[in-house]
Amino acid sequence: MKAIAIDGDHLTWREHPGEACGPGHIRIRVAASAVNRADLLQRRGGYSPPPGTSDILGLECSGEVAEVGEGVQRFKVGDAVCALLAGGGYADEVVVPAGQALPIPKGIDLIAAAAIPEVFATAYLNLYLEAGLKPQQRVLVHAGASGVGTAAIQLLRLSHNPTFVTAGSSAKVAQCVALGADRGHDRHAGSFMASVEAWSAGEGVDVILDPVGGQYFQDNLQVLGLGGRLVVIGLMGGAQTDFNLATLMLKRLRVIGSTLRARSPSEKSLVMDALYQRVWPAFESGQVQPIIEASMPITQAHQAHERLAGNETVGKILLLT
């Protein structure tokens, strides 16, 4: 098979050893993968794949089932699927536990489906399962124009949750509002605190979905309301911070650290099953859609990484095999 290899500062498309399709697994002939910030971090040596999983970049893909392992009943050869991966997506084929794959929603084409699994699974897991979000509770989504952010905004619109976003420009904020956010703040205009407090009429927000980490931690605690939950899903703004524990106690706040990649196949399968039951109908009705900035040949993975690192994108960049 062929896959992207990390050659110093470059990403090279070349031959790579294949993987056996064992019991409970399927082999997917990859049509497209998608770029995530985790890929950029892994490329720099900062986000190693879980033990026993592929060291090839790529946390999601779409394609056709090429082989079915022993015991798999939900798929057959030729089925069009998208899959959540622990790694291996930047390749022309990948082996994955069958529970981490889903049939492509009706109305979504094979290529666009590569933009679904990682970001919608991340948003769903952290908003509804980790944070226990209820309808009408207010949510603050940082990096609203990112892949996870654009997925979260659409899910929150479906579940009737007022949503405030931060993003890297007023144009990005406007795009988030068009997707369903109520209001937003350009992060280049300074702290989001005053804007969020005004939007929430001083009551604060119930849940914050945060990929930034240390840089936003203090302000996040300030804008959470009584019983609020902060879910930290990334450390783009650093891993270290100082804060006053009294704030946690007085407001009865919860801080939840969460990653998806390192979870077991059974945990990931539960998340994918929840998406299939609760979100797939919204894809098929057109209420929710993958947001795609650009599609590029996988041989241009290096340029795709540079484009994502430039922070000018909205949604996902796809890599086509």
Segment 82-89 shows an average pLDDT of 98
207 contact partners, CB below 8 Å, separation of at least 6: 127, 131, 133, 137, 138, 139, 140, 228, 229, 230, 231
Segment 99-105 shows an average pLDDT of 98
Using CB atoms within 10 A of its CB, is residue 135 exposed (0-12), middle (13-18) or buried (19+)?
exposed
Q: pLDDT tens-digit profile of 14-64?
A: 999 999 999 999 999 999 999 999 999 999 988 889 998 999 999 999 999
Region of 93 on the Ramachandran plot (φ > 0 left; ψ -120 to 50 alpha; else beta): beta
pLDDT value at residue 200? 97
28 contact partners, CB below 8 Å, separation of at least 6: 61, 63, 64, 65, 66, 81, 83, 93, 94, 95, 96, 101
Q: Please identify, in words, the CATH class of the domain defined by 120-257.
A: alpha beta
Segment 222-230 shows an average pLDDT of 97
pLDDT value at residue 61? 98
Q: pLDDT tens-digit profile of 133-152?
A: 999 999 999 999 999 999 99
pLDDT value at residue 242? 83
Alpha-carbon gap, residue 228 to 92, rounded angstroms = 44
Q: pLDDT tens-digit profile of 171-218?
A: 999 999 999 999 999 999 999 999 999 999 999 999 999 999 888 999
Asked if 19 contacts 306 with a C-beta cutoff of 8 angstroms, the reply is no
Q: pLDDT tens-digit profile of 261-286?
A: 999 999 999 999 999 999 999 999 99
Q: Which residues pair with 229 in a beta bridge?
A: 207, 254
Alpha-carbon gap, residue 17 to 181, rounded angstroms = 45
Q: How far is CA 135 from CA 223, 225, 245, in A?
A: 19, 16, 29
Q: pLDDT tens-digit profile of 7-25?
A: 988 999 999 999 999 999 9
Q: Which two tokens stand for residue 3?
A: 């896959």
pLDDT value at residue 215? 87
Confidence tier at 245 by pLDDT (50, 70, 90): confident
pTM: 0.95
pLDDT value at residue 308? 96
Looking at 3.40.190.10, 3.20.20.150, 3.90.180.10, 3.40.1160.10, the CATH number of the domain 2-116+261-320 comes to 3.90.180.10
Q: Which two tokens stand for residue 153?
A: 């905004």
Alpha-carbon gap, residue 33 to 130, rounded angstroms = 27
151 contact partners, CB below 8 Å, separation of at least 6: 119, 120, 122, 123, 291
Domain limits, CATH 3.90.180.10, in the chain: 2-116+261-320
Domain limits, CATH 3.40.50.720, in the chain: 120-257
